[in-house]
A and B are shown apart, each in its own frame.
Chain A
Amino acid sequence: MTEFEAIKELLPGYVLGTLDPAERMRVREFLDACRGCREEIAHLTAVTERILETAVELDPAPALRGRLQERIGQPAPAAAPARPKAAAPEPAGGFWAPLWSFFGRPAVQLGMAVLLIALIAANFLLWRAQERPGNHAINERGMQALAVQGTADTPEASGFILISADGQSGALVADNLPGLAPGTAYQVWLAIDEAGVLESGGLFQVDENGYGGLGLQATRPLSEFTRIGVTVEPESGSSGPTGLKVLGRDLP
């Protein structure tokens, strides 16, 4: 094995931090003369970053913010601003840049773009406060936004389900849902009544206005399901609905 081949073998460990100090030094010394190695490190680093970016976001204790200020010797800041209702501003590159980098393949990019455009459109529909429930074609490709109504217990709640034109994927956005008790979350349920199928479509939280949503997760195309519902469940999720039902509708 040549030195080049040996170093290439070590590059994943270099990026993952699993090399011993001597191996690390050996790679480092070789990098200056090996442009291909540096490029490979960049690609491998991107893989680790992509995995890290999928960490499910959790809230740290509010007091942590003040502790940081103490550590760096700065005066205590004002309270954290309320979570915005619209999309939060993103770091360098903006919201769309990381989105496009998430989904590198052209087919995925197209599907994602349609889904996100539809999601924004659904927010617009929510804002318009539609007077009656119904189905709304979002674009020429036949993507649909289906209005979802609150239940007798939550008459103020409303939302939209977005289903891609091919019926394979979709999202839910909801508004005016009741606030959640600590340790609970909203869980989406997808059902095919005649087949006795019931599965979770995912968990989500809402902001102080009861606004929230998620990309729906399902083991089969969304177009196969006949009913959707949202209930309050423990934040780790339930195997079946157990809590208050807040949204629901039949699917066409």
Chain B
Amino acid sequence: MVLVAGKNGDALTALYDRYSRFVYSISWRMLGQKHLAEEITLDVFERVWFRADAFQPEKGQLKSWIARLTRNLSIDRIRHEKIRPEMTAVSWADWFQELGSRHSSPELAVTRTLQADRVQLAIQELPGEQQEALAYAFFGGYSHQEIANLLDLPLGTVKTRLRLAMKKLAFLLFDEELG
């Protein structure tokens, strides 16, 4: 990233070769459209190029930063283009659906599969209404109020469901008891 911040094109190309499939996959899953996923992929690496100094290694790994960036830009696009779940139909089942993915090695394929299994099991342990609210928030970028309107629920109920869902996931995935 130091090289990218110094505007070294080869460094950005190397970064692209390493993470473009990851970025494309997240955006494709969230947006459900190939051309939009490609646009987001370009947006992410353009942002990395021009804002490399925004990455703070002490706050986490580069891959995590890129993942957050990808989700945020995807949600911005969903809001801007007014893409809504009835169009992208993103659900937890969609997210975890296997599509004969290509991994750079069987070792990574194994780790990815097992990691996904664990996350999927954790999601499945959430009550259905929490899964639903979390899917709207996570994939759709809906606000609390929008989710409340969509599900015809009081605003406080939506906040509670999201909080309980995230707390339980933190416990199931990291053994973290959040207050």
Binding site for B on A (CB under 8 A): 8-13, 15-20, 36, 40, 43-61, 64-65, 67-69, 71-72, 74-75, 77, 80-81, 83-88, 91-93, 95, 98-99, 102-105, 108, 112, 115-116, 119-120, 123, 169, 171-173, 184-187, 202-205, 207, 211-215, 217, 235-237
CB of B13 to closest CB in A, whole Å: 4
Beyond the given pairs A46-B174, A215-B114, 4 more chain A to chain B contacts, judged by CB atoms under 8 angstroms and listed by A's residue number, are A13-B162, A16-B137, A51-B123, A88-B108
20 residue pairs of the A-B complex, CB under 8 angstroms, read: A11-B163, A12-B165, A20-B144, A40-B178, A43-B170, A47-B174, A52-B70, A54-B115, A58-B21, A59-B21, A60-B24, A64-B38, A77-B9, A91-B18, A102-B118, A105-B175, A204-B109, A205-B101, A217-B113, A217-B117
> Would B98 and A203 count as touching, CB distance under 8 A?
yes
Minimum CB distance partner of B100 in chain A: A185
Output the nearest chain B residue to A83 by Cβ-Cβ distance: B104
What is the CA–CA distance of A60 and B173 in the complex, to the nearest angstrom? 30
Which single member of A43, A92, A108, A187 contacts B178 (CB below 8 Å)?
Answer: A43
Nearest CB of chain A from residue B10's CB, rounded to whole Å: 7
Interface contact B102-A57, CB-CB below 8 Å: yes
Closest A-chain residue to B63, C-beta based? A91
- Inter-chain contacts of A20 with B (CB < 8 A): 143-145
* Chain B residues within 8 Å of chain A by Cβ, number: 85
Q: How far is the CA of A189 from the CA of B95 in the complex (A)?
A: 23
What chain A residues lie within 8 Å of B98 (beta carbons)? 56, 202-203, 237
Encoded as 1 (CB less than 8 Å from any A CB) or 0, chain B from 81 to 113 comes to 000000000000001111111111111111111
Alpha-carbon distance between A237 and B162 when the two chains are bound, in angstroms: 33
Asked whether any CB of chain A lies closer than 8 Å to the CB of B131, the reply is: no
**Given A12-B162, A64-B38: A45 and B68 interface contact (C-beta under 8 Å):** yes
Given contacts A103-B114, A119-B110, contact A71 B75 (CB under 8 A): no
B103: chain A residues at CB < 8 Å are 57, 204-205, 212
Contact with A along B129-147 (1 / 0, CB 8 A): 0000000011001111101
Alpha-carbon gap, A13 to B158, bound state (A)? 10
* CB-CB under 8 A for A173 and B106, given A51-B138, A53-B115: yes
Complex Cα gap A198–B41 (Å)? 39
CB <8 Å contact, A48 and B68: yes
Whole-angstrom distance between the alpha carbons of A43 and B83 in the complex?
29
Q: Does B53 contact A (CB under 8 A)?
A: no
Question: A86 touching B105 by the CB < 8 A rule?
Answer: yes
Candidates B28, B68, B96, B144; contact of A19 at CB < 8 Å: B144
Is the pair B163, A9 in contact by a Cβ cutoff of 8 Å? yes
Tell me, rounded to whole Å, the shortest Cβ–Cβ distance linking B167 to chain A: 8
**Which residue of the partner chain, among A15, A108, A187, contacts B166 with CB atoms under 8 Å?**
A15
Do the beta carbons of B49 and A99 come within 8 Å of each other?
no
Chain A residue with Cβ nearest B29: A55
A88 touches B110 (CB 8 A): no
Query: Hey, which chain B residues are within 8 Å of A45, CB to CB?
Result: 60, 68
Q: Which single member of B28, B75, B99, B114 contacts A236 (CB below 8 Å)? A: B99
**Considering only CB atoms, which chain A residue lies closest to B103 in the complex?**
A57
Report the minimum CB–CB distance from A231 to chain B (whole Å).
12
Contacts of B111 in A (CB 8 A): 98-99, 102, 112, 116, 215
Q: A40 CB to closest chain B CB, in angstroms?
A: 6
Q: In whole angstroms, what is the CA distance A169 to B114 when docked? A: 10
Chain B residues, CB < 8 A from A10: 159
Minimal beta-carbon separation of B30 from chain A (angstroms): 9
**What are the interface flags for B146-164 relative to A under an 8 Å C-beta threshold, 1 for contact and 0 otherwise?**
0100000000000110110
Interface check B3, CB cutoff 8 A: no
Query: What's the least CB distance linking B96 to chain A, in Å?
Result: 7
The 5 nearest A-B residue pairs measured at CB: A185-B100, A213-B106, A215-B113, A235-B100, A74-B9
**CA separation between A8 and B160, bound complex, in Å?**
11
